[in-house]
Structure 1
């Protein structure tokens, strides 16, 4: 029971020898010794020896007691399990069926032996890929245990684990994880953390995490499992071989191909040595080794291994098994890479037919295979067939992701979404190739972009709204989540076994309608939007543009980064696909001119500054010139950036005649053009504002204590604590050293008077009163103010390249893996902590991270102005845009944001902000026009783009 198998075998062998020495051959005691030897060998991987011992024990017990005897049935179950582990499924099935029948007849269906038989039958059918049959049997066992066995019974633990394995194999990850975690907790309590049972549970969790993109967690589980196995029974066993195989698969997924090859080879060697012939698990490792060779470009070696795995699976499992289908699909991928398209197509079609019969149509394998099939059609010039396959695959993947929102956290969702990136690149590559002859492909890409872009942000906003909703809304949402979980279970079943699908779908529709009525726009984030809905909201002279950034992927070796625009006008029968530029061209331009230095910024945005016009014209030619023809007659452009476009102010780019794009078009920058389809009210007239500026960043404990006196206690985010920071290098502008900014004091004083003159009640926080404690009270007891203006230092640190060398030398927030920790604002007293001093107990440190800001409720705020440096920057994620302050304030509920893209000069920023509010409040220009007019004001004064083009409006 504690996994010491060598010692157990020695003791059992000595016991048998003693019985034989005393003339006990063929007795009950002899049968017991043989049974024990068989059981230990079966558990430790000695399958052939186990079979021999168990058959002899069965013979003796049958002769002595007959078949309807508890000891006989026990041995029969272990023999059936042994055959399953050997991959001898045809021999295992009748043995286990007989054992279950005998147990039910002799001891009753509430007996432990009957349940044991059901458990091993479930494992057999899971191995055979007969998932619905396995689920039915395991759920029967669970029902008996829950009704008749004591709480905490170890059978309950085993069944929870087995259900997790079953659902993982069937792609039902939502149900899978909860069963694994329950089992893991119970195993730890019952066996401890050094037992093989616990190693098995860790192995299963690793499998789940690997398949949902949570690779760091997967590696942690696998390595811990591997260590336990080695410590208990060494390497020459099936347990170790299984962990080695899955570590290889994990390293394959993370691109560590040499490590992957090493582990796969080790797994194959151990399994071949133990079994002495073909085995399903050996076939799995051979298949995986083939994938590694394929990725290495060693196609001949890959073909040899793929064919070996296919042949082995056909002989052992039959052609109807899902793993046989997997081998067909993998072989198809290899043929695709080597240009054998006809052969690849045939294999993909066969694989899909087999998977659909075994798993149903809504399975991740089928979606990926359909995308491969669509690529195959594209490579042979069949655009219509490609579009059909890609559209179906896209629908499946969207539905899978929608289901995942019901059970994964934001980080886990991000990891899961990342597993779809490669498939989305293929869809975009095919669309770019065929969109001229088949415009529907551009429509598919637009719909996918609407779905994926900002998906996690939309989900975070939706959850925030629900979290602060009324008890009735919360109750309805909990009921809706429950229905979604049950419906996911229904969808995972074969068509002929679905009994509640229609009823649950109807109930979900009713609940979503009710939520939409009760909670306003809450349901909008969860609702899929199509390009046609966006088109309906466009004005007659308006156009919507979704910029996309992708890696060209036609199943070959090329890996080219490309930018394109999906442009939509009223009356278009489909969006237009417009290729823009190679990513390397744009990256090179920004590397040469994107340091944030004044001369570099001016080269990017203004002809005549910096001594040349070539760079700004190049930026125009790369990103906008290709759109000119499609934008003829258009006055308003709603656009959503992608990739490094997030770091550019497109409106500040001059065309060939030197006119800014923002002077030719109304430029509306959006997170996603899906927001055009959502009902929205116009910007409300502001009646109150809260201003922060003229902040004192040095520590004055008395002044700070006086400033926060009487404020309620704030709850610090868990990631914060006693931090030690390294000060930044000195440079000009906000956001370098935390020096006092005299311009910000003048800025907020001027704005306070301007607001009062325009009937806007303004409160100002200056000096030591502009504390982090004060800021975090916003929205906690009353609606947040309509305007929040922050004139202060801001910071942003990119993802650190090598944390190992920097640990202990730099601030934890600077090294954090969480991008919302590496971006923030500095408030009163912030320099004290920044310079490496501990924060007084019970006090905030004066450094407001984006993560902290995202946890606030700013749903009453129409406009947040971040009059600080680099507040628009952050890590750029594939579909999520910028992870930084802009994301934080959007999650918190602010409707509109004005942010900066580079270090902004103090005096000119103050002038720009004053002009902005005058245009907006006094002249009543729309906010978008007010910002443009303020920027034009500085431009007309002779200031180059560095001084005004850094600010953008995110609507």
Structure 2
């Protein structure tokens, strides 16, 4: 486990501290601002001067971390301000008392004092400091994970700051908006707010705020894998901190730049930046950062396979961090040493360090770190030949990981979390398979894949305001947010050196967190009793093998489920009466190369029989002896999400796979069950929109032909608006959209279908908006547009895109495309598809028949013209 997050977290604290204090009172402005709002009688000047001195002394003590004496000074100042009737001074002092409580982790007291401050400042008509307090209330709610409340407070703060033309304050609040959306995993929104904040900070020449904002932009780009952009922003941030003469922030920036180079495997440049950070940390005497950077240097040498050098740095890191009594970071250093010994094959020594790390992580409540160390312990057992013990410990790690994941209430963060820990599942699945436990291997395979979409689709959308369990539901949500906030507060305190930690706060937070988790578990049990339907919103259990056979497939269907690992690939072949598992042998790297080459050939309108046959022989031939039905449901994994199985070529018969089998796709077998439960009666009500910008004449002809089959009027050109779609979609059985689509690789939640704009909507129907639609009456959505099946595939095998969005919105079946289609061929295929559908074929049969008809036409025989169309979900459909 690397230390990058520790320094990013520390950097965020610096920004939050600067934001709150510079927006409240800085040393050079304290006297000028303190009495600017409330007139003070001449007779009270002496008392006012005393209050000012006490306030400033409290400020300085707070900056030094002496919270107790800071509070004492503030309380004395507060008493004087109240005595002389200085409402403005009283309000600002209450605000700073609140900030002390916030820093100490006492968030309830912080919010109580902030709200008192706000009331007082409103009486004083002090709008400037009302904006400050509302901003800081938003920051506390952000820390607690109460994002809706944070956004509400920040909206109020921004309104005031715009009204009084407080440009600096406006920039501060916009930056916090960005940080809220960053924490929500909505990175596109976060960047939008950060860039607005950056523009204002540059305008008012706030170089410190500019530097911190650049750092946050860099972090956001790093999170989304845009390393070069992250690097540019980090370097700009570093240059500003050098200009300002802020050495500590320079050290953090050097570390973050080193982290980018580490990710890019440019180890020499990573080490050069880490060494700069190390020199600064040593010069300033900051052992926590020194230990952090030493660990990162050790990790880098380990990746470069210089194990002896790595151990030297890691042991220094461990020693320094132990002396500093920052236990959570000490555990990370010990874990890193263990990992290095494992790579050297010295498993006994590795286990010794892992056990030390595990003990600390359990003591401090670092559950994610505990799971990581358990994973390492299991791996060491496996490498040393003790498979039984390895399986046992891997199961412990997964149980803990799934518990942590259940506490995360943000969809995109669940996906990210699951992706980071996929290797733990892969290793356990492989061990179970090797030790003769194929059924259990399949169960863990299902638990590993597409869990976020399983949680989403596996529940029924409820109006909890009207449901009898609304009170329990609201309590569950509040407790989940409380747990999130307490975890942040605990980690905030644990990252401090022991001399700066508030033991009382640590104990209080730990006790509250334990009680909250226990209460949450009990509440979920109550929900399961009162409303099993709502309880699935918390987490949906993956199906077992027997449940898949009995609930997810019918008697005429065979399910093929693939699982890609680094060194080989497994495939399960399942029907209602049989279960087989086949090791396909191919490595992840080999498979990725073959799939990418094959796709490039197809999209270049080329065909290579040998390549198509190689993939057929690898992915399908070994399974054929176990396939007993022609109706197949394929559950792809990894790069297979982007493979058109229909175009695989049987060299013996010279036929495509689609010519012999019907094909449907599913995110997982467990998800398939819940998708099929969404099937509705079908009255043939069609909503068809197309050619909204008048650039797709064939798409317009396609939509007209489809609408004619169903006796309805299509919405074309300027009538094909987002507003029309929103108003009519909930009443449709079938939805057909023929329009451009644009995939957003940086934030797939903003992938969009481009409809016509009007006064109500901008025309961009984005993924995050589709999630909010109510399409529970629909049976089929067809997206006849460019690359509509594309999405961002995480390591956790979540595919975030339009398909997933429409499935969640209520549609049990979605037809999409894997690449941009020539619109005349698309129109012909769609006309054939709907003709067969109206004639009584199932969804899968109709799509297969249409694809075969197109490929049999000479000019469109290449796979480019027909193989892109995929059906996900319900292969049968409802009778029309």
Q: Aligned pairs, how many? A: 745
The answer for the alignment partner of 1:547 in structure 2 is: 562
Distance 1:400 1:155, change over 3 A: farther
Distance 1:779 1:350, change over 3 A: same
The answer for the alignment partner of 1:677 in structure 2 is: 673
Aligned partner (choices 646, 654, 657) of residue 641 of structure 2:
646
1:618 equivalent in alignment to 2:614: yes
Aligned partner (choices 380, 383, 391) of residue 379 of structure 1:
383
Aligned partner (choices 430, 455, 472) of residue 432 of structure 1:
430
The answer for the alignment partner of 1:783 in structure 2 is: 730
1:863 equivalent in alignment to 2:871: no
SS in 2 for 1:326: helix
Name the CA distance, whole Å, in 1 between partners of 2:320 and 2:134.
Answer: 30
Q: Is the 8 A contact 2:783 2:815 kept in 1?
A: yes
The answer for the alignment partner of 2:317 in structure 1 is: 309
The answer for the alignment partner of 2:685 in structure 1 is: 688
The answer for the alignment partner of 1:423 in structure 2 is: 421
Q: Is the 8 A contact 2:218 2:231 kept in 1?
A: no
Matches within 5 A, 1:758-777: 761-765=711-715, 768=717, 771-773=719-721, 776-777=723-724
Q: Is the 8 A contact 2:735 2:781 kept in 1?
A: yes
Deviation of the 1:358 alpha carbon: 1.8
The answer for the alignment partner of 2:346 in structure 1 is: 340
SS in 1 for 2:318: helix
Name the CA distance, whole Å, in 1 between partners of 2:469 and 2:789.
Answer: 34
SS in 1 for 2:736: strand
Distance 1:632 1:354, change over 3 A: same
Matches within 5 A, 1:646-725: 646-655=641-650, 657-658=652-653, 661-662=657-658, 667-678=663-674, 680-692=677-689, 698=694
Q: Which runs of 5+ in 1 are unaligned?
A: 10-31, 40-69, 85-91, 124-133, 553-559, 604-612, 699-737, 756-760, 800-816, 828-838
Aligned partner (choices 314, 318, 333) of residue 327 of structure 1:
333
Q: Is the 8 A contact 2:678 2:776 kept in 1?
A: no
Deviation of the 1:331 alpha carbon: 0.9
Q: Is the 8 A contact 2:420 2:795 kept in 1?
A: no
Name the CA distance, whole Å, in 1 between partners of 2:828 and 2:249.
Answer: 70
Matches within 5 A, 1:394-433: 394-405=398-409, 408=410, 413=412, 417-418=415-416, 421-429=419-427, 431-432=429-430
1:365 equivalent in alignment to 2:369: yes
Name the CA distance, whole Å, in 1 between partners of 2:538 and 2:119.
Answer: 42
Higher relative contact order (CA 8 A, sep 6+): 2
Deviation of the 1:680 alpha carbon: 0.6
Name the CA distance, whole Å, in 1 between partners of 2:254 and 2:141.
Answer: 21
Deviation of the 1:306 alpha carbon: 1.0
Distance 1:644 1:930, change over 3 A: same
Matches within 5 A, 1:185-584: 189=169, 230-232=242-244, 234-235=245-246, 237-238=247-248, 240-242=250-252, 244-245=254-255, 248-249=258-259, 252=262, 257=267, 260-275=270-285, 279-317=287-325, 321-359=327-365, 363-405=367-409, 408=410, 413=412, 417-418=415-416, 421-429=419-427, 431-432=429-430, 435-439=433-437, 442-443=441-442, 445-452=444-451, 454=453, 459=456, 465=461, 478-488=474-484, 494=510, 498-511=514-527, 523=536, 526-532=539-545, 533-537=547-551, 538-539=553-554, 542-550=557-565, 552=566, 563-568=569-574, 570=576, 576=581, 578-584=583-589
Name the CA distance, whole Å, in 2 between partners of 1:212 and 1:196.
Answer: 24
Name the CA distance, whole Å, in 1 between partners of 2:556 and 2:656.
Answer: 19
SS in 2 for 1:435: helix
Name the CA distance, whole Å, in 2 between partners of 1:865 and 1:899.
Answer: 6
Deviation of the 1:373 alpha carbon: 1.8
Q: Is the 8 A contact 1:454 1:880 kept in 2?
A: no
Deviation of the 1:353 alpha carbon: 0.9
Name the CA distance, whole Å, in 2 between partners of 1:564 and 1:345.
Answer: 30
Name the CA distance, whole Å, in 1 between partners of 2:357 and 2:224.
Answer: 24
Distance 1:250 1:152, change over 3 A: farther
Deviation of the 1:249 alpha carbon: 4.7
Tell me the TM-score normalized by structure 1.
0.63
Distance 1:484 1:509, change over 3 A: farther
Q: Is the 8 A contact 1:796 1:824 kept in 2?
A: yes
Q: Is the 8 A contact 1:864 1:897 kept in 2?
A: yes
Q: Is the 8 A contact 2:679 2:812 kept in 1?
A: no
SS in 2 for 1:687: coil
Q: Is the 8 A contact 1:401 1:417 kept in 2?
A: no
Distance 1:317 1:500, change over 3 A: closer
Name the CA distance, whole Å, in 1 between partners of 2:684 and 2:170.
Answer: 63
Q: Is the 8 A contact 2:734 2:781 kept in 1?
A: yes
1:930 equivalent in alignment to 2:846: yes
SS in 1 for 2:731: coil
1:75-114, Cα deviation, whole Å (9 max, x unpaired): 9x978986x7xxxxxxx9xxx88x6999999999999999
Deviation of the 1:352 alpha carbon: 0.5
Distance 1:921 1:78, change over 3 A: closer
The answer for the alignment partner of 2:38 in structure 1 is: none
Name the CA distance, whole Å, in 2 between partners of 1:918 and 1:357.
Answer: 65
Q: Is the 8 A contact 1:454 1:672 kept in 2?
A: no
Deviation of the 1:195 alpha carbon: 8.2
Name the CA distance, whole Å, in 1 between partners of 2:303 and 2:774.
Answer: 47
1:740 equivalent in alignment to 2:694: no
Deviation of the 1:664 alpha carbon: 5.4
1:51-85, Cα deviation, whole Å (9 max, x unpaired): xxxxxxxxxxxxxxxxxxx99x979x978986x7x
CA-atom RMSD, angstroms?
Answer: 5.6
Q: Which runs of 5+ in 2 are unaligned?
A: 1-17, 29-48, 82-89, 122-128, 173-200, 491-508, 874-880
Distance 1:139 1:778, change over 3 A: closer
The answer for the alignment partner of 1:701 in structure 2 is: none
Q: Higher helix proportion, which one? A: 2
The answer for the alignment partner of 2:869 in structure 1 is: 951
Distance 1:346 1:371, change over 3 A: same
